Amino acid sequence: MRDVAVIGVGMTKWGELWEKSLRTIFTETALLALDDAGVDTIDSMVVGCMSSGLFVGQEHLGSLLSDYLGKNPAPAARVESACSSGGLALRQGFIEVASGLSDVVLVGGVEKMTDVTGCEATYALGTAADQEYEGYHGLTFPALYAMMAVAHMHKYGTTREQLAQVAVKNHLNGSKNPLAQFPFKVSMEAVLSSVLVADPLRILDCSPITDGAAALVLCSLETARKRKKPFVRIVGSGQASDTIALSSRKDFCWIESTQIAAQKALSMAGRKVEDIQLFEVHDCFTIAEIMITEALGLVKKGRGGKAVEDGLTAIGGKFPVNPSGGLKAKGHPVGATGVAQAIEVVKQLRGEAGERQVKGAKRGLTQNMGGTGGSSVVHIFEAD
């Protein structure tokens, strides 16, 4: 298996992009990544997108986006794994280069979510849950994560204030990210008094509906070194699945797919979690970040809330989590999130993160998941 490098990244500002289509959003970011990489020709393209059919009525994205980008007849495909579609696209691109099937692969992620009503967006996102046993009974993702939060609070003593501190931390980080959808700070008081969505979760505990795209260019390590430009290596990749229905889990408080995916990625990289200097994780809700830090092994079970309270996950802490602002502040165009996480890590390892730069960062980890953890993808990156 060949070593794989990231040689180019591209991302534009996320938000409610009324004036742009899905194909335009993707093409802009793909061109930025190709320009950053200094390449024009690709061997193939993989795009993560969760639900373009429901959001904008468009399927067959491989053909559409390759055509609009001007890359035909290069093979192009869309992959889907709910909110971890971007992470899966990265993994598939990684496998393609590592296997020797392709030398240069464009990996992208895209979602256009604001062209539908709130109810329609809720339905589209709900397809990542079990439709017969959860959706049929009215369970939305805020409701599912609220149940996870209540269980965690009951079992481990996690507090409502600790949930709020995740939002405060990530908005502080996001205020330093010019590409974030919500680049502003929030206070504890604002989080705790915001509109109740599903007890105990409030609106400022939830990631937003977002339009956006992100793109990476991958190539073999040999090709990367010939360029004489900075690059970052992907040294570990792991993926795992769990039950789609939360009710079928052994423990509402544990995301087993993330634990297993992380173990696989760390094993491939030959590293321990203590060797990693920054983490971009899937904080679709504040309780998700708390549970993910536990599943990754940053802290023991039940200590995720205390970790954010004590500043362990702040940019200057022992384990900086979501220096980009995370899904909470940066935004969450579901198909693009996993790719954007990788872009943040690459920028950090290249020393290009500006005010949110993690000092001395040499290794980073991304964790992207679908649903309530029915699927998880983890990647580990190292500066060359």
Which stretch of DSSP H or E encloses residue 104?
strand 104-112
Q: Is the pLDDT of residue 218 over 90?
A: yes
Same fold, 4-117+210-232 and 128-207+235-383: yes
Task: List b or e across 218-228, with b for residues whose CB sees 16 or more CB atoms inside 10 angstroms.
Answer: bbbbebbeeee
Phi then psi for 378, rounded to 5 degrees? -125, 135
| Distance (Å, whole) CA 330 – CA 14 | 7
Q: Mean pLDDT lowest for which of 224-228, 280-284, 286-290, 331-335?
A: 224-228
CATH number of 128-207+235-383: 3.40.47.10
Catalytic positions, written as ranges: 83, 332
Domain residue limits, the chain: 4-117+210-232, 128-207+235-383
The distance from CA 174 to its chain's CA centroid, rounded to whole angstroms, is 14
When pLDDT is cut at 50, 70 and 90, the band that residue 384 belongs to is confident
How many CB atoms lie under 10 A from the CB of residue 139? 20
CATH number of 4-117+210-232: 3.40.47.10
**368 in helix, strand or coil?**
strand
* Closest residue by Cα to residue 305 from 146, 130, 165, 141: 165
Task: Dump pLDDT digits (tens) for 122-178.
Answer: 999 999 999 999 999 999 999 999 999 999 999 999 999 999 999 999 999 999 999
Task: Dump pLDDT digits (tens) for 231-273.
Answer: 999 999 999 999 999 999 999 999 999 999 999 999 999 999 9
Both tokens of 215, joined, read: 């793109």
325 and 173 Cβ atoms separated by less than 8 Å: yes
- Check residues 213 and 228 and name the one with the higher pLDDT: 213
